[in-house]
């Protein structure tokens, strides 16, 4: 047979012991919560750094007309392609800076015309790409570093280096992205 030991603690000692344990748990929870909040704030600032884009209704833009696919699908593809491009370009900004862009107007290169069996986008010199947007560049404290409006157009778009667009932007919209790239480097400078 085994021996059983029983320990009895007086009521006052037990209550004090419970308070110490509850206090210790509270301190640990508070320190974990504070560290978690600090990490969350840091992650939040990092996630806010970069480029934020606000779009208007695509039907209000000058020319974001679909050629051979449904309009809604085409608009989603344009938005996804540009947002991927802007996300890549956000790495060019110094840490903590945020570039907020509101796309006011967009006119894709070329013009949609009726082909023999379906609509096609035809590229001609007179149908050059245009992009109009307002922008605000802020630092990690929210102070405005630069702001303004940009009205970009590339009337010489068909006579630029084709190797650049083929290699870099497989999703399309080469001409419009090149305009933005040039504006970004001239206006905000490479960091």
Condensed to tens digits (0 to 9), the pLDDT of residues 123-161 reads 888 889 999 999 999 999 999 999 999 999 988 888 876
Q: Which run of H or of E encompasses 161?
A: none
**Parent domain of 32:** 9-48
Query: Is the predicted pLDDT of residue 92 greater than 50, yes or no?
Result: yes
Note whether residue 177 is domain-resident. yes
Closest CA to 49 of 12, 95, 18: 95
Residues 112 and 92 in one domain: yes
pLDDT of residue 68: 82
What mean pLDDT comes out for the span 75-86?
92
The pLDDT value given to residue 78: 93
172 and 87 within one domain:
yes
Res 30 pLDDT > 90 = no
pLDDT on residue 39:
45
4 in any annotated domain:
no
Three-class DSSP category at 23 = helix
For position 161, what pLDDT does the model report?
64
Domain assignment of residue 73, yes or no: yes
Domain count, the chain: 2
């Amino acid at each position: 047979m085994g021996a059983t030991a029983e320990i009895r603690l007086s009521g006052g000692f037990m209550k004090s012991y419970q308070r110490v344990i509850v206090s210790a748990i509270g301190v640990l929870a508070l320190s974990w919560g504070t560290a978690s909040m600090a990490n969350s704030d840091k992650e939040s600032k990092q996630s806010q750094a970069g480029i934020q884009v606000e779009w208007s209704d695509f039907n209000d833009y000058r020319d974001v007309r679909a050629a051979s696919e449904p309009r809604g699908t085409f608009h989603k593809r344009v938005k996804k392609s540009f947002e991927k491009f802007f996300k890549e370009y956000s790495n060019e900004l110094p840490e903590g800076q945020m570039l907020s862009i509101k796309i006011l107007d967009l006119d894709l290169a070329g013009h949609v015309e009726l082909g023999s069996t379906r609509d096609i986008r035809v590229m001609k010199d007179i149908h050059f790409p245009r992009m109009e947007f307002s922008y605000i560049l802020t630092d990690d404290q929210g102070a405005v570093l630069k702001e303004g409006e940009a009205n970009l157009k590339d009337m010489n778009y068909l006579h630029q280096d084709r190797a650049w667009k083929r290699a870099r932007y497989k999703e399309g919209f080469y001409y419009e992205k090149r305009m933005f790239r040039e504006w970004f480097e001239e206006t905000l400078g490479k960091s």
